[in-house]
Amino acid sequence: MITHYLLSKEVLTYIIKESERMYPQETGGVLIGRFEKEYVLIDYATAPGPDAQHTTHEFKRDGIYCQEVLDRIVAESEGLVDYIGEWHSHPSKSRPSSKDVMAMRWIANNKKYAIQNPIMCICMQEHKEVWKTYFYLYNQFRLNELVEVPSSPNGN
Ligand SMILES: [Zn+2]
């Protein structure tokens, strides 16, 4: 079972920058990476895309754009990485909503996505201009919060 997550500074910085850029509206995109035994590696977070819909309480990514980016990155990695889930911002401090859980349930049940336990990342503004990312694994109608793997000494 996946209990931990690992992501690069680059991905983290990108998610926070994009969340700040779109404040007070929500933004987001697709997460690309790979699953290991007990953790998930998040290698990329895509942009929302030009046709994404942003409001203060809702976000819908540009599906065509995100699919194109996903296909390109998967091809470049020669299949090492793949779609692992979704990320979006919560400009006001709020936990994943029941709608967020439903969205992940839909993905888990949709054969097209071919993933039973997708990852959800929420970038939350905890205080004014202080953003923090939370990662969850969807499993059986629930989002289980994942623990960050401490970064390795070589800076990965
Ligand atoms: Zn949400």
Cα–ligand 1 centroid distance for 65 (angstroms) = 20
How far apart, in Å, are the Cα atoms of 91 and each of 10, 84, 103, 106, 116?
Answer: 21, 23, 19, 24, 28
Domain segments of the chain as ranges = 4-148
- List all residues 6 or more positions away from 28 whose beta carbon is below 8 Å from its beta carbon: 48, 52, 59, 61, 86, 87, 88, 89
For position 150, what pLDDT does the model report?
79
CA of 156 to the centre of ligand 1 (A): 29
Q: Phi-psi category of 56—alpha, beta or left, where left has phi over 0 and alpha has psi -120 to 50? A: alpha
Question: Do 118 and 108 form a contact (C-beta atoms < 8 A)?
Answer: yes
CATH superfamily of 4-148: Cytidine Deaminase, domain 2 (3.40.140.10)
pTM: 0.94
The pLDDT tens digits of the residues spanning 69-113 come to 999 999 999 999 999 999 999 999 999 999 999 999 999 999 999
Q: How far is the CA of 89 from the centre of ligand 1 (A)?
A: 7
pLDDT at 154 over 70: no
**Is the confidence at residue 156, as pLDDT, over 60?**
no
Report the separation in Å between the CA atom of 135 and the middle of ligand 1, taken as the mean of its atom positions: 12
| pLDDT tens-digit readout, 65-77 | 999 999 999 999 9
